[in-house]
A and B are shown apart, each in its own frame.
Chain A
Amino acid sequence: MIAGMSYPSASGEEVPTVDRERLQALQRITDAALASLSVEQLLQELLIRVSEVLGTHTAAILLLDETGSMLHARAAKGIEEEVEQGVKIPVGAGFAGRIAARRRAIAIEDVDHADILNPILREKGIRSLLGVPLVVEQRVLGVLHVGSLVHRVFTDVDRDLLQLAADRAAIAIEHATLYEQRRLAEVLQRRLLPTELTVTGGLELASRYLPASRESLGGDWYDAFTLGSGHVAVAIGDVVGHGVVAAAAMAQLRTALRAYAVEGHAPATVVELVNRLMTGLGPNAMTTLAYAVIDPERGTLELVTAGHPPPLLIRGDGTTFLDGVAGIPLGVSDVARYDSHTFPFEPGTMLLLYTDGLVERRSEPIDRGLERLAALAAGNDDAEILCRKLVAELVSGERLDDVALLAARLEPVPERLSGRWPADRRVLAGVRRLLRRWLEKVGASADEVYDIVVACQEACANAVEHAYRPGRHWFELDASYDQGRVRVTIRDEGRWRPPRGSHRGRGVMMMRGLMDSVDIQHTDSGTTVVLERILAPESA
């Protein structure tokens, strides 16, 4: 039997009978000082003030979880065990559960004879209870209740006062929760997107991510990484939805894509495997994707898309949307098939991947947005400048959707090749590919390319191995071609170490065997190796 009374919610109504002092005390609950508190601190402070104003011994706040079916004790005063023990009350059951379900205040005069789920309330010796719902814009956020250790009849004034406190508190809780979610989400997103796009092999990369104005975060993401084959993978995607759920799906998607790609699967297979994984993650994992693998040496681009706007190719003044490749979004059907299409991607060409936030505007067909994008992109030959321009021209300050873009441009092979790299074994493969492209351009035959690349790698590997002293070390490579003669200079800052062991010195021997001339100069500031080879006339 319920020994209590129910009141209709007094939310939003005037409270004429409350004395001025109590009302003022209550109004402090939402004063500016509370705005800077975290959710936990805010709730704690709120309970202290409510207890003071109403003269109660206990106070507690329970908030609904993401499912909306369970109340979790989040803050308590006088009955701290509620929070410590992680009390959960199903909506509709018990004292707090009924308040949430009926969206109205409930008072219980005598706890001993009431339907109470939470044993802590009884164990603490609470005799009388009063609780009200926390409501914002018709949505129930949770329940605020106060208790007395001595028998007490809560009056209409008490009830109205508590509801007034609850109404104001609900707004503050909503704001603080949103703020915390946003902050968490932003940190998460920053950690999920690559901080630095460093891909060698003659590919210039630039990217932007701009979250939607009013959302905590979106599901847009991009990635770029090298595959062992010397190919470069670039990807962009848009996970449906916003907030932490979308961010979590995005993190799983990005990791899965990298893992499958690095395993060496073909692009279409990578997308099919990712799709199967996303389908298994449940209904919230729908996402669009554009995935491209660039082969800088062959000058090709292999593309797979899944429900994503068509990537744009920019070359000189011309632009081409790579459409006609479309598959359905990921996470819709686990038997969906995806096909890849290969396009020429010559040096000087730029690929632009973007999400729909860049081209979509309200009350306008998407074709207009695509036209505008193509017109702005035409004639651009710098990835960083293109990104800056597109954001300035197409992205407004008040964004409804988040925007991500990634531009990749295959740099034309220069007349004279020169560059500087960290003295790290892992950069050798990238340097090799760059050198290969350059040698092919100056007309070296396949065998000559191989020999010269091996000889140069010996010098580069020496530079890497000399850099044993602490700190970051670099080496430089400069390659020029003049009248049939290839000349490559490799310079490092390391001090020469005399060859040790049976293998040391084999590198030098091989350089001499492969090149027409090898000159090695050691000074205090470093080592310089100059390699020369005269190309055979028929290939020059």
Chain B
Amino acid sequence: MSLLADVTEERRDDVVVAAVEGEIDASNAREIGERLRRLLSNHDTLLVVDLAATSYLDSAGVNLLFELSNELAARQQRLRLVVPAGSPLLRIFTIAGLVEVVPTHATRDGALAQTA
């Protein structure tokens, strides 16, 4: 387990919600990526990564989310992010152009509402 961050998982039918609590940097991004990938089975259609409790994320985390988005798209699966309004992560994602590629929602309910 990473000392900097922890991942907790919640399932709803074919949707997986993964909350990342803590910090993602170059020292643990790869490991967090592996943990997120392991949560998904072939039957799942949507992965929601909840970053509300993520206190730090830099380009290592941005790179991870870009990779994850590409991998999921190739398997007909979707990725959505939860980033609360006013979170500094939103600025980082905007600068990096991630918001244009991955749908980002202010709340978990928002990310799940459009699944139907």
Binding site for B on A (CB under 8 A): 226-229, 262-264, 425-426, 428-429, 432, 446-447, 450-451, 453-454, 457-458, 461, 464-465, 502-503, 506-507, 509-510, 513-514
Among B35-43, B59-67, B75-83, B107-115, the stretch in contact with A: B59-67
Q: Are A510 and B88 in contact (CB under 8 A)?
A: no
The number of residues on chain B lying at the interface, defined by a beta carbon within 8 Å of a beta carbon of chain A, is 24
- Cβ contact within 8 Å between A429 and B23: yes
Residues of A within 8 A of B26 (CB): 425, 428, 457, 461, 464-465
Residue B84, interface by CB 8 Å:
no
Smallest CB–CB gap between B68 and chain A, Å? 13
Q: How far is the CA of A42 from the CA of B1 in the complex (A)?
A: 51
Query: Complex formed: what's the CA distance from A426 to B4 in Å?
Result: 10
With A425-B27, A426-B27 as contacts: A509 and B96 at CB distance below 8 Å: yes
Closest chain A CB from B10 CB (angstroms): 19
Give, as a whole number of angstroms, the nearest-CB distance from B56 to chain A. Answer: 7
26 A–B contacts from the bound complex (CB under 8 Å): A226-B3, A228-B4, A263-B1, A264-B6, A425-B27, A429-B4, A429-B23, A429-B27, A432-B56, A446-B88, A454-B92, A457-B26, A458-B59, A461-B25, A461-B59, A461-B60, A502-B66, A503-B59, A503-B67, A506-B96, A507-B59, A510-B58, A510-B62, A510-B92, A510-B95, A513-B95
Least CB distance from A400 to B in Å reads: 40
The residues of A that contact B96 with a CB separation of less than 8 Å are 506, 509-510, 513
Given contacts A461-B58, A510-B58, contact A503 B63 (CB under 8 A): yes
Within 8 Å CB of B6, what residues of A? 264
User: Contacts A264-B6, A429-B4 hold; do A228 and B59 have CB atoms under 8 A apart?
Assistant: no
When distances are taken between beta carbons in the complex, the residues of chain A under 8 Å from B60 are 461
Does any Cβ of A come within 8 Å of B91's Cβ?
yes
A513 to B62, CA, bound (A): 14
Which residue in chain B gives the minimum CB-CB distance to A503?
Answer: B63
Chain B neighbourhood of A226, CB < 8 A: 3
Q: Decide if B95 touches A457 in the complex (CB within 8 Å).
A: no
Q: With a CB–CB cut-off of 8 A, which chain B residues contact A465? A: 26
Contact (A451, B88) CB under 8 Å given A227-B3, A425-B27, A429-B25: yes
Q: Given A429-B25, A432-B25, A461-B60, are A503 and B66 neighbors across the interface (CB < 8 Å)?
A: yes
Query: A227 vs B59: C-alpha distance in the bound complex, in angstroms?
Result: 23
Taking the closest CB of chain B, its distance from the CB of A198, in whole angstroms, is 15
Given contacts A426-B27, A429-B23, A432-B25, contact A506 B5 (CB under 8 A): no
User: Given the complex of chains A and B, what is the CA–CA distance between A6 and B4 in angstroms?
Assistant: 73
Within 8 A of A (CB), among B10-50: 22-23, 25-27
Contacts of A457 in B (CB 8 A): 25-26, 58
4 interchain residue pairs of minimum CB distance: A228-B3, A513-B95, A450-B88, A425-B27
Residues of B within 8 A of A446 (CB): 88
What separation, in Å, do the CA atoms of A262 and B3 have in the docked complex?
Answer: 7
Contacts across chains A and B counted by CB atoms under 8 Å: 72
Chain B's nearest CB lies how many Å from the CB of A414?
A: 23
Of B5, B58, B67, B92, the residue contacting A228 (CB under 8 A) is B5
| Given A228-B2, A264-B6, residue A514 in contact with residue B95 (CB < 8 A) | yes
Scoring A227, A454, A506 by chain B CB atoms within 10 A of each residue's CB, the highest score goes to A454
Q: Are A458 and B58 in contact (CB under 8 A)?
A: yes
CB distance from A464 to the nearest CB of B (A): 7
| A510 to B97 CA separation, bound complex (whole angstroms) | 10
Contact of B63 among A227, A426, A506, A513 (CB under 8 A): A506
For A454, give its contact among B1, B3, B5, B58 (CB under 8 Å): B58
Instruction: Report which residue of B4, B22, B59, B96 has the largest number of chain A beta carbons within 10 angstroms of its beta carbon.
Output: B59
Bound complex: CA of A327 vs CA of B92, how far in Å? 47
Q: How far is the CB of B31 from chain A (nearest CB, A)?
A: 11
> Which residue of the partner chain A has the closest CB to B70?
A502
B95 partner residues in chain A, CB cutoff 8 A: 509-510, 513-514
Answer whether A229 and B22 are a contact pair too, CB < 8 Å, given A264-B6, A513-B95: yes
The smallest C-beta distance from B1 to any residue of chain A, in angstroms, reads: 8
Tell which of A228, A453, A458, A509 has the most Cβ of chain B within 10 Å: A228
Q: CB distance A447 to B58 under 8 Å? A: no
* Cα separation A264 to B96 with both chains bound (whole Å): 32
User: How near does chain A come to B55, taking the closest CB pair, in angstroms?
Assistant: 9
B91 A451 Cβ-Cβ under 8 A: yes
Contact call A510/B25, Cβ cutoff below 8 A: no
Nearest residue (CB) in B for A424 is B27
A228 to B, closest residue via Cβ: B3
Q: How far is the CB of A125 from chain B (nearest CB, A)?
A: 65
Please give, as numbers and ranges, the residues of chain A lying within 8 Å of B56 by CB-CB distance: 432, 450, 453
Contact of A506 among B25, B59, B88, B91 (CB under 8 A): B59
In the assembled complex, the CB of A177 is this many whole angstroms from the nearest CB of chain B, namely 43
Give the distance in Å from the alpha carbon of A465 to the alpha carbon of B62 in the complex: 17
**Residue of B3, B58, B67 with highest tally of chain A CB at under 10 A:** B58
**Residue pair B22, A228 in contact (C-beta under 8 Å):** yes
Cβ of A429: which chain B residues have Cβ within 8 Å of it?
4, 23, 25, 27
A428-B103 Cα distance, complex, nearest whole Å: 29
Residues of B near A264 (CB, < 8 A) are 6
- With most chain A CB atoms within 10 A of its CB, the pick from B5, B66, B67, B88 is B88
From residue B86, how far is it (CB to closest CB) to chain A in Å?
9
